[in-house]
Amino acid sequence: MTEGSTRPLFALQGLTKRYSGVVAVDDLSFSIPEGAIVGLIGPNGSGKSTTIDCISGFQVPDGGRWFLGDAELTGRKPHEHATRGIARTFQTVRAFDEMSLTDNLLTAAQAHDGLGWSAALQGGRGLRDAEAKATVRAEELLDTIGLTEHAQAPAGTLSYGQRKLLAIAAAMMARPKLVVLDEPVAGVNPTMIRRIEAVIRRLNEAGMALLIVEHNVEFIMALCATVIVMAQGRKVAEGSPRRIREDPQVLAAYLGADTEAHDDE
């Protein structure tokens, strides 16, 4: 936590992504300090989803570099981003529907304990210890998200909001350095939104930094110390929630776009 006191936890430099001529993300740079919660907002089509798909390895950009601590992750595959410390959730909530909640969480942890195939097959003490530790962690997280009683139920039986909670817990399983949440509260009822907010806070207090993409501006403003606003692929503002609220460029960006539409890409 203390290494590289001046270097941010995560740094993105000059990200550019074009889709057959349309520039989705245009020379975007930002950084995330250790332990911070950073919000990324913007109208539909402003390039938020493309940005996080790129910095988690799911899309290959046309330009730009990004670093986690000292390690450059540019050009790496999705699973390599994960094993190096960037976890993410998806806008269309994803879970292993036919697995129990516990198995969902154990699966999320298994690539991170450094045990290879031979250890997995031989089943020695190292494996037993690692699985036992992961099971304890899974129980803690299920308790945090309030789904302990469903631990053995298949994830497919959960409600939409519960699945979102499970996805957040799965992203936290391996104690990543940075967690990217893609619309964690879209389509979730107000009670569940408060619960998700509380869960995010608790996980952040445990030391994890978060980058949250959301359309629910109130949710972002309440959680984040820093908010980045994108419009048409560019960063138009960055600062504290209060500054962002009053920024004329932000108002222009939002008023210039269709604020009612929902992002369902």
Partner 1 sequence: MSARAGHILAGAGALAVLATLPLWGGTPYGLELGITAATFTVLSTGLNLVYGYTGLLSFAQVAFFGIGGYTSALLSHDAGWPVFAGALVGGVLALLLGLVIGYTSLRLSRHAFAIVSLSFALLCLIISRDWVSLTRGPMGVPGLIAPTLQLPGLGRIGFDRPAVFYWLMLSYAVLVVAATHRLVRSRIGRAFIAIKLNQPLAESQGIDPLRHRLLAIGVSALTSGIAGGFYVFHLTIVDPSIFDFYYTETMLIMVIVGGPGSFWGVVVASLAFTAIPDMLRFSHDLRMVLYGAILIGAMLAFPRGVGGWAAQRRLVRLRRPILA
Interface residue list for partner 1 (CB under 8 A): 56-58, 77-79, 82-83, 87-90, 94-99, 103, 106-112, 117, 120-121, 123, 127, 131, 152, 154, 170-171, 173-174
Q: Which is nearer to partner 1, 179 or 227 (CB)?
A: 179
Nearest to 237 by CA among 37, 46, 11, 19: 46
**81 vs 235 by CB, closer to partner 1:** 81
* 43 vs 57 by CB, closer to partner 1: 57
36 vs 93 by CB, closer to partner 1: 93
CA 58, chain centre distance (Å): 13
Nearer to partner 1, 171 or 212 (CB): 171
The nearest distance, CB 154 to partner 1, in angstroms, is 8
Distance CA 107, CA 164 (A): 17
- Tell the smallest beta-carbon distance from residue 211 to partner 1 (Å): 14
Shortest distance, position 40 Cβ to partner 1, whole Å:
18
Considering beta carbons, is residue 49 or 56 the nearer one to partner 1? Answer: 56
CA distance 250 to 235: 10
CB atoms under 10 Å from CB of 128, counted, come to: 10
What the block records as the tokens of 11 is 């740094």
User: What contacts 225, CB < 8 A, 6 or more positions away?
Assistant: 36, 37, 38, 240
CB of 156 to partner 1, least distance (A): 10
Q: Which residues contact 158 (CB under 8 A, 6 or more apart)?
A: 95, 101, 147, 150, 166
What's the CA gap between 167 and 89, in Å, rounded?
6
148: tokens are 């302990």
Shortest gap between Cβ of 3 and partner 1 (angstroms)? 22
Q: Are 199 and 146 in contact (CB under 8 A)?
A: no
Label residue 140 exposed, middle or buried (CB < 10 Å: 0-12, 13-18, 19+): middle
Choice between 165 and 170, CB closer to partner 1: 170
CB of 96 to partner 1, least distance (A): 5
Least Å distance, CB 61 to partner 1, is: 17
